[in-house]
Structure 1
Amino acid sequence: MTTRDLALSALFAAIIIVLGLVPPVTLGFIPVPITMQSMGVMLAGTIIGAKRGALAYIIFVALVAVGLPVLSGGRGGLAVLMGPTGGYIFGWIVAAFVSGFLAERLVREGASEWRQLGGFFLSSVLGGIVVLYAIGMPWVTLAAGTPFSAVAWGSLAFIPGDLLKAAVAAIAARSVLAGYPLLPQRA
């Protein structure tokens, strides 16, 4: 990794923290709030790539672990990481990597704008939703003692918002690719 890679990862860790300033929306039937920080997974992966995006979230999770209130709602600390939302928080690292990995393979600089948007959207959905849910939902079941079927049904309420986040991330990634093409210059 170069200094540029570290700087981009640190910049995205800061962006993720800023996304946490948007107040979380809590649903009464599942202990996981709706936050904008999960969109950061899609943004980091699709804009700066798999390795840099994952590193941004490693930095972010380390800040949470030492107790800084960088999570949405001003939360932080080991208790949060071990609670019901911990699987999603740790899952952000893997999800950012997968989003970036897929974007690096699906999106080509010379492709049409619609093809690029589609590649970024698919990368965001598969990495930022499918992978994240696959890690987070079993964790909620274990940490909260909620049956997996109830967690899965409760998670359906998040899908429309997450698809909207994926669309916003795809548009942002396409805009960055057009204005400052970082995608082909991945670490």
Structure 2
Amino acid sequence: MTSRRHRAPITAQDIALIGVFAALIAVLAFAPPIPVGNFGVPITLQTLGVALTGLVLGPWRGAAATGLYVALGLLGLPIFAGFVGGFGVLAGPSAGYLLAFPLTALVTGFIARAVLSRGPVRWRVPLLFLAAISGSMLVTHPLGILGMSINLEVGLREAFFFDIAFWPGDVVKSLVAAGAAALVHRAAPWILTRR
């Protein structure tokens, strides 16, 4: 006889947090994008919101919040950077980055939950930074490179060199997200682990 692991039902609080963080990513997307190079993918604050969502909500709710954001944008709401929305963005150079957001939040959330449960409180910000930058480098950048390669019709190597322009900004955004998430977890330590 196999034992089934009991999973807590989704609560109204979970739904509210998912909605709030999806809205937060949308608000951060409204910050003026910074153009980089001539390949059409600007530096935005969306990835800051994705990192913060995974760090604060954990894997499943973080993926749900970022998935909701991406779904609403694809359905036509102008909530992506540059006030655009609709399925047409999937033909653009930033498609891989956008589609990576839910998986990035999932990975970031898993790492954050693992490191926070084992690490001392004084290491909270560095551990959260490690979670945020890991999610970005393991998921966002590879899928972003793939998307640029396909939609710009360039080789993976060329797309990789386009992507390098985003690395310094991602380090800064991961630090900011880690600091903000550490404050949230200090005020509400229950938020990362669902009851």
Is the pair's TM-score, using the shorter chain for normalization, greater than 0.5?
A: yes
Please report the TM-score for the alignment, with normalisation by the length of structure 2.
0.90
* Structure 1 segments of 4+ aligned residues over 3 angstroms from their partners: none
Say if 1:95 and 1:132, in contact at 8 Å, map to a contact too: yes
> Unaligned stretches of 5+ in structure 2?
1-9
> Unaligned stretches of 5+ in structure 1?
none
Per the alignment, residue 4 of structure 1 pairs with 13
Per the alignment, residue 62 of structure 2 pairs with 53
Say if 2:58 and 2:192, in contact at 8 Å, map to a contact too: no
- Give the 3-state SS of the residue equivalent to 1:107 in structure 2: helix
Distance 1:186 1:98 in 2: 17
- Give the 3-state SS of the residue equivalent to 1:136 in structure 2: helix
Letter of the 1:84 counterpart: P
Distance 1:186 1:135 in 2: 29
Distance 2:187 2:151 in 1: 43
Deviation, 1:154, is 1.6
Q: Within 5 Å, give how 1:130-149 maps onto structure 2.
A: 130-149=138-157
Say if 1:48 and 1:182, in contact at 8 Å, map to a contact too: no
1:23-43 Cα offsets, whole Å, 9 max, x none, are: 111112332110001111110
Within the alignment, does 1:179 sit opposite 2:187 as a pair? yes
Q: Which of the residues 152, 155, 175 maps onto 1:167?
A: 175
Per the alignment, residue 17 of structure 1 pairs with 26
Fraction of identical pairs, as percent: 36
Q: Within 5 Å, give how 1:2-151 maps onto structure 2.
A: 2-108=11-117, 111-113=120-122, 115-151=123-159
Please report the TM-score for the alignment, with normalisation by the length of structure 1.
0.94
Distance 1:21 1:2 in 2: 29
Letter of the 2:73 counterpart: V
Distance 1:10 1:109 in 2: 29
Q: Which has the larger radius of gyration?
A: 2
Letter of the 2:115 counterpart: L
